[in-house]
Structures are given as structure tokens and as C-alpha cells.
Structure 1
């Protein structure tokens, strides 16, 4: 019984440690996105995932929040980062960006559109 509990605790600890690990591409994406903000150090990320988009290229998608010139957070905006350094960040909800996001960012809410 003690061995089972110790094993479960070790597995939970390892899972928690690995959950915070970002791939190199995700780290690169976060740096590129943060550098586009007025205050890069204020960047807060959520829902950051890597995957393959329609063109079968790796992408990193997620949401970022940052501070404006008055020091207030402006709200989360979606982003798409490609391995070649191309970056798209939404401003509002323009239909073209949302279509690109749906194609390039696999999600539990919609499958990536495949051709």
C-alpha cells in the first residue's frame, strides 16, 4: 500500500513538472509575441499549443495579454506563430484572422480543416 501511494505521488509530481515544459518552438513563439507588445515583460499567455496546421507545418497558437501605455492589461488576443518566424496576432475578431486560426490551430472545439 505504501509503495502504491509513493508511486502515485512520484507520477503526479513528474506530470506536474512536465506540464510546465515548453518546446523550443513554443519558447520561440512566446518571445516573438512578447516582443510585439508595448511592454514585453507584461506578457501573460494561456491556451498555448503546438500542432500542425492545414499546410502540415508546425504552428504554435495561443492567447496573449499585455499592458497598454497606461499600464492596464488590454485583454487576451489570439496569435499564430510559424517556424519561419511569421507571426499573426488578432486585433478584435476580423473574419480573415479567425479563419486562419481555425485552419492552423487544432482545437478541442473544431478539428483542423484538412485538404
Structure 2
């Protein structure tokens, strides 16, 4: 029984590690963000009231970065998984959207 308990406690950590390898370890040939996502993410960084379309663009970008906001599961890694996806989207924004950076 002790080995089973040890294995079960290690599995979530391995899942996070593998997810990080898949998300960040495989080079992608093109841009991750669309021009619409770049524009909407730039608008969200200002103090202007956000629109529903801007929030939807942000959510689409977070999903591309590996975040799954499914309401049907209790995510034991929240908010760490959301924050990791936000960091990745911020990196993509900085590297792929220089022409729409907020002033």
C-alpha cells in the first residue's frame, strides 16, 4: 500500500511536468496569436472598459497556452495553471504583437 500512495502523490506532479514540456518544449512554426487577439489583448492592458469580444480573445489565447477553464472539473492546480498560461500569453504578446503594444 505504501508504494501505491507514493505513486499517487507523484502522478499530479508528473502531469504538470509533462504538460509544461508539451506546451513549451515543442517549437511552433507560426505565430500563436492572431492579429485580432493581439489587438484585443492590447486593449485589455489599457484602462478602457473591456468588451465581451476582448474577453473572448483573451480566453482563446489562454486556451492555446494550455489552460482549460472547464466548469465540469475541480481543478486542483488552479490558479497555478491559469497563471502559467497567462505568463505564456504575455510572452507571446511581447514577441508577436510589437506593433500593437499599449502606449
Please, what TM-score do these two structures have when normalized by structure 1?
0.29
As a proportion of its length, which structure holds more strand? 1
- Higher share in helix: 2
Greater relative CO, 1 or 2 (CA 8 Å, sep 6+): 2
